[in-house]
Amino acid sequence: MTGPSLQDDPRPTEAFDARHTDLDRLSPLALVQTFADDQLQALQAVQAAVPSLTAAVEAARGRLEQGGRLIYAGAGTSGRLGMLDATELTPTFSWPPERAVPLLAGGLRAMREAVEGAEDDADAGAGDVCAAQVGPGDVLIAVAASGTTPYVLGAAAQARAAGALTVGLSNNPGTPLLSAVDCPVLLDTGPEVISGSTRLKAGTAQKIALNILSSALMVGLGKVYGNLMVDLRASNAKLEARALRLVQHATGAPLPDAQAALHAAGGRVKTAIVMLRLNIEAADAEARLARSGGHARATLGETEQAPDRTPPG
């Protein structure tokens, strides 16, 4: 009597890909090309998910405008990608770290090593959501390639019961996670080159989707002017130089003027831009930005809506 085979699992991410049965016999060039070609399916999956990603952004923005938090829940690769996205929001957009809360099955230890059984504990997922005091103002992004991870399902169920908006990213269609959330996002990447290794294109699709979700939300919240990262946190020499370039680019000011404005603004790029563009002091610029909800374009009186662009191809 034999046990279940790879073909018995209905989840495409766990399926056996018969195209790559000689993977271990390929030359280095052919091997690298195979992996590179397969990764293209990650982008195709994200492109197909644009409508559902848009719906998630539209649903989440209002809660964040009212002071809500982004909560990420995942296990293994999915959880680590959520941790990464949450962490990068602070230096990129000055998003308060307490408003980007990553929940990882097994805790911080699981960033570097597998924690046995952590992802199989739905109660732990629910408990972590309770411990984070997730409530109606928050947005939970639940990520699971399989769409069946108990920890993630427990977190999503508890967050939804608490009134939070729930977004779910899964790489398999028809999975429990997609049925358990308010905003389901299917990233249908199919079987992996290395069977079952969802750190490959499934993980790539998740990374792209998380980048899109959080970046689109930050743009909508006024963290970007044009396509300039005007709310970055200049925490090192590289970012300080970037902040100065951003001020000069947005205002056309000479270097000494840009430096002086940035210094007076306490390193806040958006404040320095408003100061220079409107010829006002830092305190006045801050007050005007506050009245416009932090949106530089509205503060500068540039409120005309840009037309939607026709998608390529």
Identify any residues that bridge with 71 across adjacent strands, giving them in sequence order.
101, 140
Contacts of 112 (CB under 8 A, 6+ apart): none
Question: In a 3-state reduction of DSSP, which class is residue 59?
Answer: helix
Taking the C-alpha atoms of residue 107 and residue 79, their distance in angstroms, rounded to an integer, is 10
Exposed, middle or buried by CB within 10 Å (0-12, 13-18, 19+), for 79?
Answer: buried
Q: How many CB atoms lie within 10 A of CB 31?
A: 15
Annotation marks residue 88 as catalytic:
yes
Report the helix count and the strand count for the chain, using DSSP H and E.
12, 5
Catalytic residue among 14, 119, 192, 286: 119
Taking the C-alpha atoms of residue 251 and residue 275, their distance in angstroms, rounded to an integer, is 10
Q: Could you tell me the two tokens for 15?
A: 């399926």
- Residue 162 contacts residue 148 (beta carbons within 8 Å): no
Radius of gyration from C-alpha coordinates of the chain: 22
CA angle 28, 29, 30 (to 5 degrees): 95
Which helix H or strand E contains 140, and what residues bound it?
Answer: strand 139-144
Taking the C-alpha atoms of residue 134 and residue 63, their distance in angstroms, rounded to an integer, is 13
Question: In a 3-state reduction of DSSP, which class is residue 172?
Answer: coil
Taking the C-alpha atoms of residue 185 and residue 236, their distance in angstroms, rounded to an integer, is 36
Catalytic residue among 14, 58, 88, 113: 88
Which helix H or strand E contains 139, and what residues bound it?
Answer: strand 139-144
What is the set of active-site residues? 88, 119
